[in-house]
Structure formats: structure tokens, C-alpha cells
Amino acid sequence: MEIHRLKPMKDGYDQDLFNRLYKETEGLRNLLTYQIDHRRYGVTQDIIKSWFDDKFIFVFNKYYGEITNDQLKGRIINALRTFKFRMLRKAYSKYNIYNNEVRLEGEKNLINIIPIDDGISNHQLFLELALIYLKKNLCDDSFLVLQVDLNPPPYILNKMVNPKTKIPAKLIAEYLDLEPSRDSTLYINDLRSEVSYWVSQAKEYFKEYNQPA
């Protein structure tokens, strides 16, 4: 994903520093790789890992010699985390459906009740139309949380005792690399409230849209 941006390494770069920083950030790159649902890209986890490796090389080469070694390490870490967000947004920008359950406010709400008598025989088409409506009205973060609720990635499923229950807001915040705090949990809940509101609006929209003329 980043390989097209790579340039030849700077002349005389410190190979020992490169190897040390690569080793010190290996755990983070492995964790971030694990947090990406590789199925959405149609590749293996090894390929996802190679994209983070490419990002590491790009950032190291770009800033080497311009900032201190500690600053360089911090820049690499921040770039890797930001890169994961970029990958998540791209992966969840598509309307691929693994299941059609939206878990909101502690209840199971099925998108296919928007509306109950929708008159649309192609169920998949209707789901995609509903998601297009929601994407148009939700902010990016709310839509991302909606997609995580719809299609929990392996990272979240592996941490759930019962994958069919509502995903804890704290776990979503952890998955998105937000600071582990009460504010982060409240932020996820606020995003879910926005989703809940627009789901109810979508129900009314499609009910009215499908009224006979």
C-alpha cells in the first residue's frame, strides 16, 4: 500500500539504528496487523504486516537525520497508528455485509425492519441502500463504529466471551487505539447514539419512500 512511496535509503544512514527501531516497534506492528480484518482486503495477514513494514521504512527514511532518534521513534509510532486508521476507514468504506445485525442501546435491531413492508424483494440491495443512506448522514467516526458493530473484526471477536452480544464501548475504543479513559468510552457511546438516531430516521425515510403513489 505504501511501497510506491518508497525511495532509496539515504546515503550513510545508520543501519544499527534502523534495525533497533525496527525491532522495538515490531510488537506494535504485529498488534496493528492483528487489528486489521485482512479479509476485507482479500489478502493474508502477512501482506497486511508488509504494509506496516513499508510505512516504517518510509517514515524512517523521510525523517532520518532531521530529528533526534527519540523523536524519530515517536514519529514512526504515530505514523503506524495513523496508518491503521487510514486502513480501517478504507476497509469499512465498502458495504460488504457478513451479517445484518446492528446492536444499539443494548438491543438487537435488524436493519431489515427499515421498513418491515419495504416491498423490495432483493434483500441485499435494500441493505446496501440503507447503508448508503446512513453513510450520507453519519459523521465518519459514527459510520466506522456502525461498521465495526455490523462486522466485528477478528481482534474484537477473539476478546468477546459471547460474540453475539453487544460489543462493549471500551473494547471498540481499544480497537480504535483511543486513550483508555472514561472519555473514550463516552465518545463511542455518543457515536452509537448518533447511529441510533439515524437508524430511526432511515426507518421513517424508507417507509415514506415506499408508500404507494
Q: What 3-state class would DSSP assign to 67? A: coil
pLDDT in tens, 114-171: 443 444 444 556 677 788 888 888 877 888 889 889 888 888 999 998 888 999 999 9
| pLDDT at residue number 99 | 38
**pTM, rounded to two decimals:** 0.57
| pLDDT at residue number 88 | 80
**How do the domains of the chain map onto residue ranges?**
3-91, 101-209
Backbone angles phi, psi at 107, to 5 degrees: -120, 165
Could you tell me if 54 and 30 are in contact, meaning their C-beta atoms sit under 8 angstroms apart?
no
Q: Average of pLDDT values for 62-91?
A: 85
**Which of 148, 131, 151, 143 shows the shortest CA–CA distance to 195?**
143
Res. 110: pLDDT tops 50: no
Confidence band (pLDDT; 50, 70, 90) for 109?
A: very low
> Which of 25-39, 81-95, 171-185 has the least mean pLDDT?
81-95
